[in-house]
Chain A
Amino acid sequence: MSMRKWSHRSLVSAFLPAVLILFFLILSASPSANAIPAFARKYGLRCSACHESWPMLNYFGQKFKDNGYQLMNDRDAPIWQNPGYWPITFRIIPIWHRVSTGKVLVDSAAGTDSAITRITSSGFDLSGLDFHTGGTLEKNFSFYVLPSSDATGAFHFETVMARLDNVFGSSWLNVKLGKFELDNLLSEKRILTLTGNGGVYQLYHFIPVGDGNIFGQMGDNQLGAEVMGHSYNDRTRYSAALLSSNDGTVGLPYGNAYTGFFTFSQAFDAGKTGVDRIGGYAMVGQAPTTWLTSGGPSSYIAGSGVGNKSFSREGFVGQFYFGQHVDLQVVTQHGEDNAWFGQGYGDVIDGVSSVNNTPGTVLPPGSRSPSWNGVLFEPHYIYSPQLIFIGRYETIRMSQQSTPGTPSNLGNISTYTIGYRYNPFMTSRAGFAWHNEYNWLHQDGTGPTLGLTSANINTSELLIGFDFDF
């Protein structure tokens, strides 16, 4: 059979296995890199010392972070470093992914928005670029700055914080100021998955359908101050943060409202199975629903928000280890927003809300505070520090809709994610992972309406990529 007679399909089927084998051979033979990023370079430890699988922290890494990026020995202060040392790491992820979104409203011969179809697109892509720089300014003075871009290179400050560590010589008192990730034990910033829906914890960002409150997203880095403490070996931890209710947006765009975020957890030595941890968290805050306008009813003045209404998120966290290879991370949540948020009042500045709680406004009769419950389970199988298999099931169920008569399941979410990360080398110099992942997400009732009922939406994404930092 000559080459010309080969069909496209037979070409692919003939060469794909060979290409994959070659690819894995190349990966297996990859030499160690020769420069050390940030903390690994500073302390001469491998990524695996602090990361269950990079970037997710293990227990030792959590303690290192809690100590203000210090091992608590005499090598912590930068005076011990080579003067040429610059604590910076960059991370970017080239990927190929296939995204399939069900039930998209499209135009057809019957008219505008007259049909529903599934749209599937695939191709090569990039994540944004992160520049992580962090460490110590002096013993017990730590910092972290993270300029982060989207995939087009538009930068913002994801993290900017300085921290006083071990105040009065006590690990129970550490004070942080700036923009930072909340003290979530299961950190979304260190999530092991990368797809659009699987690369975040839905629980950390859930907003009921029609709700105008964006300020309760515990997955977003927030502006504020945090007091945090822990026992010598990090078995016991607490934190309390006072945050501006602005979802981490700089420039005081909303108003004068604050949110508190509190955590407590206790770990237990479970013998051969490892160290297990259970804890809880609570986010209680207020955010504005009333805005001054200038030049028309929809020209809202930034920073003028008043009429603060309340919201809360609380739940339990469990980190359970079953020997060196298997662990299970669990987070639960009960969330509730004030009825005003539920009726769409809230963030008008970003256009999330289109209504203003001006004097004299009344809620529709029967309006209630929307509430929901959710849980996520994330098991890991760690074959070795270089290979981890990841699974996740996450579900959120509305327990009360704001408007009576609304379908009780409107906005419910279920999502599954599976994947693995393979690090072909493990050194104290750089991180590289071959990443494969599949995510499927289902949401009730948020699809386009053609007929009487809203459709459910199913989306899925397959992602293959190189996740690396240096």
Chain B
Amino acid sequence: MRTRLRKQSLLLSAAAVLVFPLASWAQLTPADINTRIVTASHIGNITGHAKDAKGDYRRYCVVCHGELGDGNGESFPWVDPKPRDFQLGVFKCRSTPTGTLPTDEDLFDTIARGLDRSNMPQWSTFTKQQRADLVAWVKHFSPRWANEKPGTPIQIPAEPEITAERIKAGRDVFARVQCWKCHGVLGQANGPSASTLTDDLGRPIAAFNFTEGARPKCGDTDRDIYRIFMTGLDGTPMPSYADNIKPDEAWDLVFYLRTLMSQHSIEKEMAKKLDLKPVDPNAPAGQQ
């Protein structure tokens, strides 16, 4: 028993020796970050400058995101979900494919929209220049922006007419790609995998509950919802379905998801008339 314990402690020590330098490397210093203070952003004809956002960041953002942008501000222990670690350069709300950096416009829109079901409010009172400066400031925390270009935004085809057939087809997509495993058959975030979900940092994370009236984090227009499941939410278990769902099918899924939401919608009315049943997880493929 004692030998086994000794072996375990040796292994732990070795692991610590290996992991500690990696952790130190991952944690950027103020000097590292300051080398990128010249970072700029471009939103339309507005150019944002990181150095001009220092005051606003300190006034509004530092309490959660921390002086070093690592998400370790003073409110870190109290808020859930935890504040974004800008040093990682990983963002949920993007118009770009999974694994790529978001565009400046993506970050610009996120600041104004806020993130529902989190402590990130809507900073819509800022001027466009302030927001552009803050985008540059957010970018300057991560070395990714120095080495990579943002991804190319995905193409979203024009929204088709909502029909009963499309809503039913959307339900089939919901079943086929197994959205229900996390979101539940009724969209109540109670699928069989829901309780096991963690983000990339190992923190528990909840699936989106379509029925409680909350806005999806990355926007609540039809195009936003389309974008969310076609780009995925990086850093979370929500993957990109760009390889599994065709663009036309994606619109079908958007229409079906609307039927699960508590807010009034045309889709919800149509589903009621159709007496549309929830997906049956046990039904054979293609036989919903």
Residues of A within 8 A of B130 (CB): 274
Q: How far is the CA of A324 from the CA of B126 in the complex (A)?
A: 12
A384 contacts B55, CB within 8 Å?
A: yes
A49 contacts B63, CB within 8 Å?
A: yes
A73 contacts B122, CB within 8 Å?
A: yes
Residues of A within 8 A of B78 (CB): 44
Surface stretch bound by A, among B14-22, B112-120, B187-195, B236-244 = B112-120
B129 contacts A43, CB within 8 Å?
A: no
Beta-carbon contacts under 8 Å, B31-69 to A: 52, 55-56, 58-60, 62-64
Q: Who on chain A is nearest to B114 by CB?
A: A73
Give the bracket for the number of chain A residues in contact with chain B. 20 to 34
Q: How far is the CA of A366 from the CA of B116 in the complex (A)?
A: 65
Option from B55, B75, B117, B125 in Cβ contact (under 8 Å) with A60? B125
Surface stretch bound by B, among A87-95, A265-273, A349-357, A450-458 = A265-273
Determine whether B124 belongs to the interface, using a CB cutoff of 8 Å to chain A: yes
Determine whether A385 belongs to the interface, using a CB cutoff of 8 Å to chain B: yes
Q: In the assembled complex, how far is the CB of residue B261 from the closest CB belonging to chain A, in whole angstroms?
A: 14
Q: In the assembled complex, how far is the CB of residue B35 from the closest CB belonging to chain A, in whole angstroms?
A: 24
B63 contacts A60, CB within 8 Å?
A: no
A74 contacts B117, CB within 8 Å?
A: yes
Q: How far is the CA of A385 from the CA of B122 in the complex (A)?
A: 20
Q: How far is the CA of A60 from the CA of B75 in the complex (A)?
A: 19
Determine whether A428 belongs to the interface, using a CB cutoff of 8 Å to chain B: yes
Residues of B within 8 A of A232 (CB): 124
Q: How far is the CA of A234 from the CA of B112 in the complex (A)?
A: 13
Q: In the assembled complex, how far is the CB of residue A49 from the closest CB belonging to chain B, in whole angstroms?
A: 5
Q: How far is the CA of A324 from the CA of B114 in the complex (A)?
A: 22
Q: In the assembled complex, how far is the CB of residue A377 from the closest CB belonging to chain B, in whole angstroms?
A: 24
Residues of A within 8 A of B64 (CB): 44
Residues of B within 8 A of A269 (CB): 127-129
Q: In the assembled complex, how far is the CB of residue B44 from the closest CB belonging to chain A, in whole angstroms?
A: 13
Determine whether B79 belongs to the interface, using a CB cutoff of 8 Å to chain A: yes
B127 contacts A275, CB within 8 Å?
A: yes
Q: How far is the CA of A63 from the CA of B123 in the complex (A)?
A: 10
23 A/B residue pairs, CB under 8 Å, sorted by A: A44-B63, A44-B64, A45-B60, A45-B119, A49-B63, A60-B123, A63-B125, A71-B122, A72-B121, A73-B114, A73-B116, A73-B120, A73-B122, A75-B119, A233-B124, A233-B125, A274-B127, A275-B125, A275-B127, A324-B56, A385-B55, A385-B59, A428-B75
Q: With contacts A73-B120, A428-B63, A428-B74 known, what are 13 further pairs, Cβ within 8 A?
A: A32-B74, A44-B64, A46-B59, A60-B60, A60-B123, A73-B121, A73-B122, A272-B52, A325-B55, A384-B55, A385-B58, A385-B59, A427-B63
B interface, CB within 8 angstroms of A? 52, 55-56, 58-60, 62-64, 74-75, 78-79, 114-130, 214-215
